[in-house]
Amino acid sequence: MQEKLLELRCVLANKEDAMYSIQIPGWLDIMRVVQIYDDIQDMIIDDGLQDNLVLSIAYHYFPDEWNWFCGNKSKLSLQNEQYLLLSLYMPCSLQHCMQLAADKIKTMNWEQQKIMHYLLLKNKYIIYRENFFPKDDFLFNFYWHVKNRMDHLSPEAIKSFVIDICLHLKETRSELLTSVDFSTAYQLRYNLFTLSPQEKAFILDKVIAN
């Protein structure tokens, strides 16, 4: 499907030759990653209407998260903090999908990776409400809230997920970037999805310790 859509875009732009470029797999992966993030953003809208990767992952692999979603979806559609709640109570499904996206991004060339980092950190699939957790302790509280829900993962992978989520939150992103040195802040801001889980776990441990 993505290949057909890309081919159509090339035709409309009078750039049919681009379909023969050796970089085509990377451009196709950009579309695949964007679709993953669209599914994250549209979980409630898609339910019952069309396929959604996150909901499929929850249904097949994380039944507790699927049951939580089924029991709360009517309320979620009415709450401003719905996307933060999804991150808190369906972390395994989200982490699985975000890891799929990260794996695709790591195979892209430099230009494509930069495009992806720009697009994904503009994505607003999570809405942060200051009254949900104390603002100054968000990283710590978020980690302790999800870590026991993700016991199939290593501690490093869980901490990496926390960093990923917090970099998508406008309020906590600023707090996190100002809590680390310039080089680390640059890597988080522009190379988030190519950093290893161990690197991001080390960053979280250092920030929380301070």
pLDDT tens digits along 63-118 = 999 999 999 887 777 665 676 788 889 999 999 998 998 888 888 888 888 888 77
Question: What pLDDT is attached to residue 21?
Answer: 52
Structural domain containing residue 183: 2-209
Would you state the pLDDT for residue 6? 42
Residue 111 confidence (pLDDT): 81
Cβ atoms of residues 193 and 106 within 8 Å:
yes
Annotate 52-81 with DSSP letters as a single string: -HHHHHHHHH-HHHHHHHHHHHHHHTT-TT
Angle between helices 110-120 and 91-106 (to 10 degrees): 150
CB 119 within 8 A of CB 34: yes
Name the stretches of the chain with pLDDT < 70.
1-26, 78-81, 83, 122-136, 170-171
Q: Tell the residue number behind the tokens 């750039």, with chain if given.
A: 15
**Closest by alpha carbon to 105, among 162, 28, 172?**
28
Q: Structural domain tally of the chain?
A: 1
Residue 136 is predicted with a pLDDT of 63
Q: What is the pLDDT of residue 153?
A: 93
pTM of the model: 0.77
d(CA 111, CA 119): 13
Residue 50 structure tokens: 């069309």
